[in-house]
Chain A
């Protein structure tokens, strides 16, 4: 028995030794997002996209710095602000220099503050924050710092694209704004008011916030929207609030478009099905129909490995490739000032997403093509939720909001 225990101990020690030896040469990215709890699907989907992008687009093409592999280390933040900061510390303690996070702007705000302070106090252990999804405009405005890089289009850029589309539809004369009662819902409403006033003479017939996640039946809201005579609706709703609002509208006889930020994938596309056809207008980067050979091949390989998930956050493709390119350009994965300087101002062309991406130097906001697409099952090359339905692009704003102003006053190291 004693011998057996000793043997097991030795085997374990050897295992630890071998594994630490094998990973010594990897460049690690800490993926900090919810992997348990109610938001676990969004996080898990993102993790699959990160792992696949790093494997397929970096490691299989020779890695970084002449052969080093990149590796995604998953850390569960349970969608909690405090837990996220603990996980950032865990990553730093493990010697990880790249932090990737995206779900929830609140958490992104906390991480960017922590990273800023940490880098000031520990110049030899600095880290870079890859924000791949959090869209609160403040992150690249008042709260910007050198270490934060955003790869998604922020809420203002997306609204700019939506209102470009709306301005081109003369039949829209009355607009109804509805959103969840919290910071993001308010940011969307404020941006909509601003851009609609700038670009159109559309009358806003309703601007309201409903309690988030507490409305059981959206039918009365739909009735009210109909009674207001609105020709179109803009909403930042997500999750069940998005589906219930959309379904109630279509059941109540609403025929106009609903412009939305988060009305696809994670079960939403499948649940809407026919009811959302022609109604849902999604704004986003990297929308996937019509597809291109490079995208089709990439998507097929992704689905072969992760049949359950979608390419729901395509900017991850850009983030992985641009980070690898920056590391190669800087010639180091340890000096974050050099990597950060290589990444800022970087211009990159993504064959898969067919877009140029510019990491704007003045605020570290990625500028890229932003699309508006429609929920349909006609001409869909790449669907969501394996449902046959997907988002078909009908308008692309090239390098959207390229010259948009920023209040960012970045201090560079």
Chain B
């Protein structure tokens, strides 16, 4: 029971981190109509910028400054890159972001090298915040949790309750009308892209010390974020939130319990093979849940697409 509670908390922290990435991605999708394939690269940039800043001024300055730099970079990419490509349609946009991913990934390795970098959580958060069933939860994880929740609340408030949010939402669905009403829609798009990538940057800043800052980090998390967005329903913020938490828990629980296919086969009445390592069905008998854990989100993706093509909360006709 205690293990379940602790897994719930771990999964929540991981899921909220995924949400920070998927929220920006889903907003950008609403706007451009295509997925920003370079999204995870901005996550990586956030972590590396924060590392670089933290070596000079400490963690807290990096926490504020690095996402801002990423925001500006993201806005620049929209203004000088995507906006030009936009006129040629969705496919060139998609290819543009696809190429950008590799360019950023290579640039990061060129500047910071191919080793992992020692980006660590600040001293002031290096204590145990919670003690549950012999397991501990460090203060830094709680800090991650609080930042993610704060982002969710702020984002929701801005989009649903403020005038800026109204304009953004309107511009996403009816850009021509909003423009006719005298609003600067290209500026709105640039802002949304900038803030979306900035959120990815912030996710990188706070995930870097916990999940390691290394050249493979964008690739490792990139694909799973797309799963969150598609499962939640493209363009739906609530959907991204629910799907991120769902996948966070799915992965955490899958890795936690060593339920094997062998146990199920035994329960079904099959007999355990005498010398399992030479048995033709060896791979099936020795398969365990943690081993298939990483593919479960993709299985979920396929199932959702088959039975609910718009995703869990999607409204948009594709």
Contact = CB atoms under 8 A, between A and B. Distances in A.
A210 B293 CA distance: 9
Interface string B198-217: 00000000000011101111
Interface residues on A, range: 35 or more
B138 A271 contact: no
Interface stretch (A61-69, A192-200, A245-253): A245-253
A213 interface: yes
A223 B10 contact: yes
Interface string A12-42: 0000000000000000000000000011110
Given A240-B216, A247-B212, A253-B131, A208 B290 contact: yes
B6 interface: yes
B294 A220 contact: no
A224 B291 CA distance: 14
B7 interface: yes
A219 B118 contact: no
Contacts, number: 120
A239 B215 CA distance: 11
A267 B116 CA distance: 5
A273 B252 contact: no
Contact of B252 (A40, A217, A266, A271): A217
A336 B150 CA distance: 69
A210 B224 contact: no
A178 to B, nearest CB: 10
A219 B252 contact: yes
Contact of B220 (A41, A214, A387): A214
A38 B290 contact: no
A410 B104 CA distance: 51
Given A216-B220, A226-B135, A251-B138, A210 B291 contact: yes
Contacts of B256: 220-221, 223-224
B216 A220 contact: no
Contact of B6 (A41, A223, A270): A223
Contacts of B118: 267, 270-271, 273, 385, 387
Interface residues of B, number: 45
A75 interface: no
Given A213-B216, A273-B118, A221 B255 contact: yes
Contacts of A244: 211-212
Contacts of B137: 251-252
B114 to A, nearest CB: 5
A215 interface: yes
Interface string B248-279: 00011101111000000000000000000000
B214 to A, nearest CB: 5
Interface in B127-142: 128, 131, 133-138, 140-141
A380 interface: no
A243 interface: yes
Nearest to A190: B277
Interface of A: 38-41, 181, 206, 208-211, 213-217, 219-221, 223-224, 226-227, 239-240, 243-244, 247, 251-253, 266-268, 270-271, 273, 275, 385, 387
30 contacts: A38-B216, A41-B114, A208-B258, A210-B255, A211-B291, A214-B220, A214-B294, A216-B221, A219-B14, A220-B10, A220-B252, A223-B6, A223-B10, A224-B256, A227-B135, A240-B212, A240-B214, A243-B212, A244-B211, A247-B210, A251-B137, A252-B135, A252-B137, A253-B131, A253-B134, A253-B135, A268-B116, A270-B118, A271-B120, A275-B120
